[in-house]
Structure 1
Amino acid sequence: MASEVQKNSLYIEQDPAGNIESGEIRKNLDDDGRVKRTGTVVTASAHIITAVIGSGVLSLAWAIAQLGWVAGPSVLIVFSFITYFTSTLLADCYRSPDPVTGKRNYTYMDVVRANLGGMKVQLCGLAQYVNLVGVSIGYTITASISMVAVKRSNCFHKHGHHVKCNTSNYPYMVIFASIQILLSQIPNFHTLSWLSIVAAVMSFSYASIGVGLAVAKAIGGGDDVRTTLTGVTVGVDVSGAEKVWRTFQAIGDIAFAYAFSTVLIEIQDTLKSSPPENKVMKRASFVGISTTTLFYVLCGCVGYAAFGNAAPGNFLTGFGFYEPFWLIDFANICIAVHLIGAYQVFCQPVYGFVEKWCSTRWPESKFLREERALDIPLYGIYYVNFFRLIWRTAYVIVTAVIAMIFPFFNDFLGLLGAASFYPLTVYFPIEMYISQAKIRRFSMTWIWLKVLSWACLIVSIVAAAGSIQGLAHDLQTFKPFKNED
């Protein structure tokens, strides 16, 4: 009976109308005819932490170094409040028109379609899915850098810090992609919770190691570490123009470090219907953003205290530390494992979008809908869909190939982040809240929401300018990598 229910449930997952009236099966369905959701505050918080805390947390010391002791922590706190506030607005839009009893919207595009409609739906989809694909490519590069850092750390320990110890990223990109091909067969967000929890634990681990090493370095002293209230000093550390561009980039890095709106609705769609999903999601957002802010402030401020104005872009993979080498190795392994989980969190909306579109386009196709049962030793029955297998494998391979062709793609990712941060994290949540709550035009609430929206637009433009300048500089200085083991 259990396997029969599972098989029927998989069918209903693809048929939201849920017209099966069997009482036995109906017990396993939600109000929309889909398989009953089981997500909780814990699983949603894990998804958020996995999505928000990336290895970029270790580069926040560099961002604080550009802004200084006053502006740096202040910008971190401000953007944590902005992100939490707009995430609560978006959480109320999961159901419409009523946030508790209204019709469910399964994706960000569905939410925009229900509340705003028109061309804004296409603009939302463009911003969201371009960003998600970009993140997939960026995570492939970043994970390979962490894997390479393990090999380099051992090389430095064995031969000394003066040795180049260069090695190719390409084999590690292939390893990362191979793992993702396997994990991409996880059907949807509903069955991804265990991976997000593992990834969240890994993010805590490497962030804690980074903070611990930075504290030890700051206490130990030794090097001439110089910090200031305003960050890197014009005429000493950088030129005036460099100071401006670096400030723009630092603000952008901090703003985008909090962005998880691209997957918020998909995360909310995993929650149980009681208590109301919007209340649980707001609680999970608070837990997730509070936790990440604590680690961001620690990594950024303690890292700046340890390295001063010379803070590296990433003090683990960039070798701000060489010893103890085994701890550096463990931290970089944690980064790689975290990115394995984070890749899946950001890919699931892309997988779901394509599979839903294809099912709508060819509703009678057996290739798209048929699930074949496989009896896997030590696991049990697993249902394989060949379309899902082929399409998701192809997606992972394509993103890995792009990562190999454009190893400086992470710099371009900053520009993608700048382009998507404002519409997805600020503009759409505010506009949908105004529409749903029927806030009167030119009322005080309307005015301050619009002021917040315009202020964040300016931040995005500034960050985009910084990203373009940084990308242009990297393209000018880029040289094809040579393997020098």
Structure 2
Amino acid sequence: MFIPITHFTYKEAIGKANCFHDKGHGAKCSVSSYPFMAAFGIVQTMLSQIPSFHKLSFLSIIATVMSFSYASIGIGLAMAVVASGNGKVGKTGVTGTVVGVDVTASDKIWKSFQATGDIAFSYAYSSILVEIQDTLRSSPPENRVMKKASLAGVSTTTFIYMLCGCIGYAAFGNKAPGDFLTDFFYEPYWLIDFANACIVLHLIAAYQVFAQPIFQFVENECKKAWPENNFITKEHSMNIPFLGKWRINFFRLVWRTAYVILTTVVAMIFPFFNSILGLIGAAAFWPLTVYFPVEMHISQRKIKKYSMRWIGLKLLVLVCLIVTLLAAIGSIVGLMKSVMAYKHFHS
């Protein structure tokens, strides 16, 4: 949950884009991200009181529209740079950055591992699949609907990722930044502002989509452990202006607020997006996206031990485990370097 908060620097990017537009691209434009992170935490504190995942459909729609919007803008701007023929600021090559010129050999290895973790995080969505499936109607069968939805979602996501990666690299070469919209594009500033605003809205929705399963898991376990505790189980009805009647549970209010505050503070202390992204991606990818689904598939289909299919699936699990460990190592190294070089609570 630190990821959407650390990535909330896109709100900071809006201020920078406006500053560069007003004062010129060579101006020193420094905008602190901490007020924006704090504001993000306040918004999430309010949204976290949404009782369940079933009430998040409007946020999911917003996130989808926003993601398509800013991705399209980023791809379009990168294509414009490629078409102009004079925007490239780094060499291109099959192997990427050049050892001894752009990076050292060790840096390239660690960054490659970290990038693997970033990619893994992009596909670590399995934790919310069950929650999504639980919102579907029984007819047609949920598993068939989810298979089609997963195929469409993964295919679309991969296509957009490939476009962003390939066209972005063609535009900027080995100097390609981690975030095009914050590091290289400043004009037209109004379009950059709009794209960054789309990302902000996407992150607001994304936080809730990933946090709600955690909220509900903890609350359900607490209700099972202390079913007689009114603080945990009792719902109170309150009239809230413009929202009408709203169910308030004091445990939900305290626990979710504390969770948001904790994640916000940690994100403000360690605002290292790429390193944390890779680390969390590595930690979540193998067990949730590979190991458990494969083991459940083997058990459900009763695949014979040591059959070709069984061996193939086990090899897949092993390869993904190795990739996950390498990604975790690279992300930890990157995080350590960032921590040593970073001055906390300085703009």
Shorter-chain TM-score bucket reads over 0.9
Is the Cα–Cα contact under 8 Å of residues 403 and 409 in structure 1 kept in the other structure? no
Question: Which position in structure 1 is the counterpart of 2:136?
Answer: 271
Structure 2 residue identity aligned to 1:412: I
1:233-312 paired onto structure 2 within 5 Å = 233-312=98-177
Q: How far does residue 421 in structure 1 lie from its aligned partner after superposition?
A: 1.3
Question: Which of the residues 286, 290, 294 maps onto 1:426?
Answer: 290
RMSD: 1.7
Superimposed CA distance per residue, residues 117-158 of structure 1 (whole angstroms, 9 cap, x where no aligned partner): xxxxxxxxxxxxxxxxxxx12211211x01111111111111
Aligned length: 346
Name the SS for the 1:383 alignment partner.
strand
Question: Which of the residues 14, 25, 35 maps onto 1:161?
Answer: 25
User: Quick check: 1:464 aligned with 2:328?
Assistant: yes
Question: Which position in structure 1 is the counterpart of 2:64?
Answer: 200
Question: Which of the residues 6, 11, 14 maps onto 1:150?
Answer: 14
The structure-2 alpha-carbon separation of the partners of 1:251 and 1:401, relative to structure 1 and needing over 3 Å to count, comes to: closer
Is the Cα–Cα contact under 8 Å of residues 177 and 396 in structure 1 kept in the other structure? yes
Question: Which position in structure 2 is the counterpart of 1:228?
Answer: 93
The structure-2 alpha-carbon separation of the partners of 1:480 and 1:379, relative to structure 1 and needing over 3 Å to count, comes to: closer
Superimposed CA distance per residue, residues 219-251 of structure 1 (whole angstroms, 9 cap, x where no aligned partner): 112145521122222333233333322322223
Q: How far does residue 439 in structure 1 lie from its aligned partner after superposition?
A: 1.1
Q: How far does residue 265 in structure 1 lie from its aligned partner after superposition?
A: 1.4
User: Quick check: 1:343 aligned with 2:207?
Assistant: yes
Structure 2: gaps of 5 or more residues: none
Distance 1:387 1:373 in 2: 14
Q: How far does residue 175 in structure 1 lie from its aligned partner after superposition?
A: 1.0
Question: Which of the residues 242, 245, 260 maps onto 1:396?
Answer: 260
Q: How far does residue 182 in structure 1 lie from its aligned partner after superposition?
A: 1.3
Is the Cα–Cα contact under 8 Å of residues 118 and 274 in structure 2 kept in the other structure? no
Q: How far does residue 409 in structure 1 lie from its aligned partner after superposition?
A: 6.5
Is the Cα–Cα contact under 8 Å of residues 133 and 146 in structure 2 kept in the other structure? yes
Distance 1:301 1:278 in 2: 34
Distance 1:381 1:478 in 2: 46
Superposition TM-score, scaled by structure 2 size: 0.94
Name the SS for the 2:108 alignment partner.
helix
Distance 1:290 1:412 in 2: 25
User: Quick check: 1:362 aligned with 2:226?
Assistant: yes
Percent identity of paired positions between Structure 1 and Structure 2: 59
Is the Cα–Cα contact under 8 Å of residues 196 and 345 in structure 1 kept in the other structure? yes
Superposition TM-score, scaled by structure 1 size: 0.68
Distance 1:288 1:401 in 2: 32
Q: How far does residue 446 in structure 1 lie from its aligned partner after superposition?
A: 0.4
Q: How far does residue 378 in structure 1 lie from its aligned partner after superposition?
A: 4.3
Distance 2:120 2:255 in 1: 33
Structure 1: gaps of 5 or more residues: 1-135
Structure 1 residue identity aligned to 2:202: H
Superimposed CA distance per residue, residues 7-65 of structure 1 (whole angstroms, 9 cap, x where no aligned partner): xxxxxxxxxxxxxxxxxxxxxxxxxxxxxxxxxxxxxxxxxxxxxxxxxxxxxxxxxxx
Q: How far does residue 260 in structure 1 lie from its aligned partner after superposition?
A: 0.5
The structure-2 alpha-carbon separation of the partners of 1:364 and 1:410, relative to structure 1 and needing over 3 Å to count, comes to: farther
Q: How far does residue 377 in structure 1 lie from its aligned partner after superposition?
A: 4.4
Name the SS for the 2:181 alignment partner.
coil
Q: How far does residue 414 in structure 1 lie from its aligned partner after superposition?
A: 2.0
Is the Cα–Cα contact under 8 Å of residues 199 and 337 in structure 1 kept in the other structure? yes
Question: Which of the residues 365, 372, 378 maps onto 2:236?
Answer: 372
Is the Cα–Cα contact under 8 Å of residues 152 and 165 in structure 1 kept in the other structure? yes
Larger RCO: Structure 1 or Structure 2 (Cα < 8 Å, ≥ 6 residues apart)? 2
Structure 2 residue identity aligned to 1:323: E
